[in-house]
Homo-oligomer: A and B are copies of this chain.
Amino acid sequence: MALSFQPDKPIYLQIAAHMKREIIAGSYQPGDRLPSIRDMAMIYEVTPNTIQRALQLLEQEGILRTERTNGKFITADDALLRRLRGDVLRERAAAMTRELLAYGFSSEEILSALSDELKGADSQ
Residues of A whose CB lies within 8 Å of any CB of B are 21, 24-26, 85, 88-90, 92-94, 96-105, 107, 109-111, 113-118, 121-122
Contact = CB atoms under 8 A, between A and B. Distances in A.
Please give the count of copies of this chain that the complex contains. 2
28 contacts: A21-B103, A21-B104, A24-B103, A24-B104, A85-B103, A89-B103, A89-B109, A89-B110, A90-B116, A92-B96, A92-B99, A92-B113, A93-B96, A93-B110, A93-B114, A93-B117, A96-B117, A97-B118, A98-B121, A107-B118, A107-B121, A110-B114, A110-B118, A111-B111, A111-B114, A111-B115, A111-B118, A114-B114
Contacts of A118: 97, 107, 110-111
Contacts of A105: 89
Contacts of A121: 97-98, 101, 107
Given A25-B103, A89-B100, 4 more contacts: A25-B102, A93-B96, A96-B117, A111-B118
